Structure 1
Amino acid sequence: MPDSACYKNRELSWLQFNERVLDEAGNKKVPLAERLTFAHIYQTNLDEFYMVRVGTLVMQSESEEDERDSKTHMTSKEQIESILKETKRLEKKKYAIYTELLAMLKECNIEIVNFKLVTEEETAALEEYFDEHIAPFLSPMLLSKQQPVPFLTNQQLYSAVLLSNKKGKAKIGIVPCSGVFKRLIELPTRPGVFVLAEELILHFVAKLFPKYTVRGKSIMRITRNADIEVGDVYDEELDFRNIMEHLIKQRIKMAPVRLELSREIDQEAQKELAKYFGIKNSHIVKVDTPLDLGFFSDIRTKLRAMPTLFYKKRTPRPSSMLDMRKSIIAQIEKKDILLSYPYESIKPFIKLLNEAAEDENVVSIKITLYRVADKSEIVDALVDAAENGKEVVVVIELRARFDEENNIEMSKRLEDAGCTILYGLEEYKVHSKLCLITRSINDSVSFITQIGTGNYNEKTSALYTDLSLITADKQIGLDADKVFKALLIEETPEKTTSLLVAPKTLQKSILKNIDAQIALAKEGKDAYCAFKLNSLTSVPIMEKLIEASRSGVKIDMLIRGICCLIPGIKGYTENITVVSVVGRFLEHSRIYAFGRENPNVYISSADFMTRNMTKRVEVAAPVYSEVLKQKIMHIFETCFNDDEKGKQLHPDGMYYSREINKKPLNSQEKLYDEAYKA
């Protein structure tokens, strides 16, 4: 059997991950209000997937080059066909779950109804509401050869109406269904019973086209390609921030890659819609649920009086390793600190920055920012430091997809405060999570270095699982200084001593560490690797993992999302086990461990993906403290043994639930319990 049989297509693997998200929406053990959230996350995940990944494949399929998936050798066209087929299957599953959720909401005295379940009296009241509160804000349009095709905004709701005039000539009407009016419209006769605004508009849409007969109608939503790169809008007369602002404007006008309909309409009308909006007929998808599940957040608000319908309230705990009443810098100089989010609070790191902003011995603060919170205390601390005369260097990545606008605004604020701003590198995105505080005491230099797996974002630190290492180790500080010095002259470091830095040294070091375990296995010794990642797609690393498995190295992997390597295949990957945990918090930390006894342990910003290894600046940091190593491996083992939210990837390429503990283990709840007890 060739090695290629060990691989799975990246896009289809991602759809499997999103199905695991959908499974949580259908999980009866999850509180009802949280199930609503998972359903909405599933939809928004899928929207972004179509905007980015399918958008890329569509452009590839239209080019003259025969681009294929490097692992399964599927063409772009074959991948699109498989994605559309799988999407239609998942829509059926989503509809079954949505129906179940509506039934459960009804038991909580909340109903979403259509006009089949509305009385004549209620219909008359809704018509009056439509006339007074919605119709004045609507702008109905006709598709016509005489007029330009109306621009439909990405992911907005529209009514598509099939019309005939008195002469029998067919027309298509378009009505925007989003506006100043509210989405959930309560029936005046039945409190807690709601009609969606788009359904109300669709029901009375004939009133907007009085000279026509309505032959058919549907709610419609377009998803546009968002895969646009800086080079596509490059203008040598603009600075990089202006280019990114231009890119954001260009993105909203890009070609559609999917058109969703809430009702069946005849094939001729579908073809006409596809022609008008420049989309293939095969990319029209029938959806039986509402096309936008964003209204679930409004329903969650209405359920707040019933706390049992939500997860048990948890708040990030103070770290037991630190005393917040004392200097953070002084404590870190004595020992390395590891913060584990969301179980432990990000506040010690924020206090560290605030302390550095005021410390007369601090000369500079350098940091890489990828995604920051809207109202960021971290940015506030950097501004304070700059205004206090510290040198503050901020590498802010303006190409962080869908966060460009926020990052542009943050860069302006930081620049106004006197910070030195870098926008990343032309060839590489700066994705590392690295902060370096440099101090000078009696002409002697010292460093406080923070390396993380997740963004400097207070909001996501309470929602994502991430690790943050803070150390006064001199060599790590010198390496971090090398990274920033290289970035300042638009380069990447060629060589470092302690830190592993992509694109030059990270992948080589990972392969070298795996080779060391292969050598142990060939000597008949215990050989082991453990990895916690978001995704695995890198062919060189997967080839090395296959080699390690065939040599007898035991490999345990926690991979939340995409996994292109199929484990358990005899003679190839039989020594590899892959588990995915999808639960209350988004698993986001990256851990690399090599060896069973006294392992070499790293935390990192990088997944094992081609882009992370070769197209981004990433940093992995060694963990030297035995106490912190034990803490990290405890986190790994707890998640790996999760049999409530963890599913195992089998040799058939499918994920299955498992029962390995006497009492089902929910790793996230266990780790939070431990944080509360610490």
Structure 2
Amino acid sequence: MDKEIYNYTQNRELSWLRFDQRVLEEAQDPTVPLLERMKFVAIFTSNLDEFFMIRVGSLFDMAQTDANNKDSRTGMTPKEQLEKIYGAVAPLYKERDKTYAEIKKQLSPYGICGLDFKELEQSEKKYVKKYFKEQVLPILSPQIVDANHPFPHLLNKAIYVTANLKHKESEKGKTTLGIVPVPQFVSDILVLPGHDIRYIRMEKVIMEYLNLVFEQYEVSDANYICVTRNADVSPDDEALEVNDDFRLLMKETLHKRRKMAVVRLEIAEKLTGDMEKYFCEKFNITPAQIFRTKMPMKLDYIFSIAGNLPESMKRSLTYMPFSPQNSAHVQDGSMMKQVKKRDILLFYPYESMNPFLKLIKEASVDPNVLTIKITIYRLAKKARLVEYLCAAAENGKEVTVLIELRARFDEQNNIDWSERLEEAGCRVIYGFEGYKVHSKICLITYRNRNEIQYITQIGTGNYNEKTATMYTDLSLMTANQAIGRDAAEFFKNMSIGNLNGNYDYLIVSPTSLKQKILYLMDEQIKKGNNGRIIMKMNSLTDVDFIRKVSEASKAGVKVDLIVRGICCILPGVPGYTDNLRVMSVVGRFLEHPRIFSFGTGANQKIYIGSADMMTRNTEKRVEVACPVLDDNIKSQINHYLKVMLGDNIKARILQSNGAFVKKKASEPMIDSQAVFMEEAIHAKKETPEQENGLGRWLKGLLKR
């Protein structure tokens, strides 16, 4: 193993925790509206939940089956990584609790009050008790644990109220454990009558009235708990016979996930020594895996509260409303005709996804369109895209949908959509054993007189109409026939199970994407001090890529990486990454594009696509990246990168010790996402020749 790489890399999991800490910093930012700050606490919490379910779950399995396996970037064993994770998470819990308490206190003057039972007014206590007895108590499923009532299976991320119970008529003083699941079909909170939004969480209501639940017992040590289970389970490809239904296998996989090992126990109140020992034995965990929190274990209700505020309060407590704008590069009329004339780039969420959806809708009824082919990874619960694909099939078009049923936590949604598509007559395929299809590519084939021609769309993000209003992404629509022929070859290969296709323009993992990126980096390395590399991605873990970045830095190439999440390479390490700068932006929208830029001026090469520089993406997934050939679109992307690199409000700069720090305050202050919102709003008002003052100012400011 090459240990030199340890000098300029950091552990993947610890890097991810630092990313989630940056999410928490948004919750601590006084310039962010209060309810938006609370949403960031909720996002931090759900991120941490998924981290334990997937990453900690994976290490947990590895520690049992391959204990000597060492992380290729830091040399740590699974057990050593878990110990580091538990140590790093504990202070994050305290920081989150403190942040939540501060925001909650500041929301109180606005009449938004999350209350403990003792804080309720007398009339409210009467209301809560009446509600509990009439609406909650009849549907509870309490249980004691003894010889005749075995310890129940606790569902992942479900909340349970627990207590020690002593029978009132028993003289021996023997206690037993009582467990009450908080019903999943009642609201997480009980909103109290009145004009203000005063509420109490359901687990606190149940905990208050345990004496009514366990009437023949004396109740003590009341608490509520929540287990997090390992969810890192994949379908057993080897168990799948050729004629088996992959959908059925995925349904079995989802059932299996509910029974996986516990990797974390969250508690509301401190456990007695006996109770801690009891839970550790029952869940086969150590005390290091028990985390106490003073805030809610679930915060989803914050989003519904924010959505139901009166308009006057929304203006004070939430972001100013922003709707994706109509792109200045799209005119009224046929989308197919416009794309045939010139390439069009959409920039979500600043620009609307509607032009792409309109393109598919047009294609579904155009008599000259023969086929529509698309890869799907994640879809919204309500998807116009599926309606248009189904309509196309019903109109006699050949529609092929490669849908990835293994998109983690979206499996059931994708199973449902695949059934709907099949019912409409679409041909649905599922990809490859051992390789998730994560690409975002769509191909429309049509007849122009006697010639077959193509319109191709390549994206950096999912065809998800909901997240397209929340995530930043790029979507390129082109009638370039060479790219179209590559796309047609790609879909043919996907249909016949060929991972080793050859393409002239598209670069596709697992065969050519990483190799091409490394080759393009080598071209810049040959230029030495005149070389230039800028890349934007979500995560960076691939060891071959990390080594190549270090090689470029050593050669004098100026390298900028914009990495939202995990980043295993450390910049500014003498002799290894002196010329590397890494920044991250966490803001109102989730940064999601993958952009790879090499060189400057007329010789610059830009690719956009679906892949992060992670080993799973470059070697274990089907990903597609596409060259940007249109000069106007190159200019758009260059402007985007310059603004991002100039951000000095939401940007954090990675240090050589793995910490992120804010840029030093300087004028003018630039919030990149605010700039893009402003530009999108004003873009329709001015032609490119009448470029707005903000655009000219930024171009001058951000020259480097």
TM-score for both structures, normalised by structure 1: 0.96
1:239 aligned onto 2:245: yes
**Deviation digits for residues 178-209 of structure 1 (CA, Å, limit 9, x no counterpart):** 34443333456895432222111112213322
Distance 2:127 2:245 in 1: 56
Match of 1:87 among 86, 89, 96: 89
Which residues in structure 2 correspond to 1:448-597 (within 5 Å)?
448-521=455-528, 525-597=529-601
Q: CA–CA distance in 2 between the matches of 1:101 and 1:16?
A: 22
Aligned-pair CA distance for 1:234: 3.3
Quote the residue 2:702 is aligned against.
none
- What secondary structure does 1:185 align onto? strand
Q: Give the equivalent residue in structure 2 for 1:406.
A: 413
| Offset of residue 250 of structure 1 | 1.4
Match of 1:107 among 90, 106, 109: 109
Aligned 1:307-318 pairs, distance under 5 A: 307-318=315-326
Alignment partner, residue 252 of structure 1 = 258
Structure 2 CA distance, aligned partners of 1:462 and 1:189?
34
Cα separation, 2, equivalents of 1:123 and 1:628: 62
**1:191-244 deviation per Cα after TM superposition (whole angstroms, max 9, x unaligned):** 543222211111221332233332312110111111111117935373111111
Question: What's the CA shift for 1:340?
Answer: 0.6
Mapping for residues 270-669 of structure 1, pairs under 5 Å = 270-305=276-311, 306=313, 307-325=315-333, 327-521=334-528, 525-598=529-602, 599-659=604-664, 661-669=666-674
Once residues 306 and 123 of structure 2 are traced to their aligned partners in structure 1, the CA distance between those partners, rounded to angstroms, is 29
Following TM superposition, by how much is the alpha carbon of 1:21 offset from its aligned partner in structure 2, in angstroms?
0.8
Q: 1:235 to 1:592 in 2, by over 3 A?
A: closer
- Contact residue 492 and residue 504 of structure 1 kept, 8 A: yes
Residue of structure 2 aligned with 1:41, choices 11, 24, 43? 43
Alpha-carbon RMSD across the aligned residues, in angstroms, is 1.8
Q: C-alpha distance in 2, partners of 1:452/1:301?
A: 30
Q: 1:9 aligns with which of 5, 8, 11?
A: 11
Distance 2:594 2:195 in 1: 50
Query: 2-side partners of 1:426 and 1:21: how far apart?
Result: 35
For the 8 Å contact 2:438–2:622, the answer to whether it is kept is yes
> Which among 59, 69, 78 is matched to residue 57 of structure 1?
59
Distance 1:127 1:320 in 2: 57
Aligned partners of 2:374 and 2:400 also within 8 Å:
yes
Question: Does structure 2 retain, via aligned residues, the 8 Å contact 1:233–1:243?
Answer: no
Which residue of 1 is the match for residue 180 of structure 2?
175
Distance 2:421 2:186 in 1: 37
Q: 1:193 maps to which residue?
A: 198
The match for 2:696 is none
Distance 1:179 1:417 in 2: 34
Moved more, 490-499 or 139-148: 139-148
The one-letter code sitting in structure 1 at the alignment partner of 2:277 is K
Does the 8 Å CA contact 2:67/2:78 hold for their aligned counterparts?
Answer: no
Return the letter of the residue paired with 2:354. K
Q: Deviations over 1:152-189 (max 9, x none)?
A: 12111111112233321131111112344433334568
Q: Is the 8 A contact 2:5 2:73 kept in 1?
A: no
> Unpaired runs of 5+ in structure 2?
684-704
The Cα offsets for residues 458-507 of structure 1, whole Å up to 9 and x where unpaired, read as: 11111110001111111111111111111111112432111111010000
- The TM-score normalised by the length of structure 2 is 0.93
Structure 1's 329 and 80: CA in aligned 2 closer, same or farther, altered over 3 A? same
What is the distance in 2 between the residues matched to 1:472 and 1:281?
59
State how far apart, in whole Å, the 2-side matches of 1:593 and 1:64 are.
Answer: 39
CA deviations 1:28-51 (Å, max 9, x no partner) are: 111112112111111111111111
Task: Name the CA shift for 1:395/1:188 in 2 (closer, same or farther; >3 Å).
Answer: closer
CA distance in 2, matches of 1:333, 1:120: 70
Residue of structure 2 equivalent to 1:677: 682
- Aligned counterparts of 2:134 and 2:581: Cα–Cα separation in 1: 61
Aligned to 1:159: 161
CA contact (8 A) 1:162 1:269 kept: no
Change (3 A) 1:389 1:301: closer
**CA distance in structure 1 between the partners assigned to 2:633 and 2:291 by the alignment:** 50
Moved more, 611-620 or 156-165: 156-165
User: Which of the residues 114, 123, 134 maps onto 1:132?
Assistant: 134
User: Is the 8 Å Cα contact of residues 558 and 579 (structure 2) preserved in structure 1?
Assistant: yes
Change (3 A) 1:639 1:145: farther
Alignment of 1:216 onto 2:224: no
Which moves more between the two structures, 63-72 or 546-555? Answer: 63-72
- Alpha-carbon distance in structure 1 between the residues aligned to 2:645 and 2:194: 52
Gaps of 5+ in 1: none
**Larger deviation, residues 139-148 vs 444-453:** 139-148
> Residues 449 and 147 (structure 1 numbering): CA distance in 2 closer, same or farther, change over 3 Å?
same
Asked if structure 2 preserves the Cα contact closer than 8 Å seen for 1:55 and 1:226, the reply is yes
Q: Residues 261, 365 of structure 1: CA spacing in aligned structure 2 closer, same or farther, 3 A cutoff?
A: same
Shift of 1:282: 2.5
Deviation per residue, 1:349-384 (Å, 9 max, x gap): 111111111122211111101101122111111111
Residue 98 in structure 1 maps to residue 100 in structure 2? yes
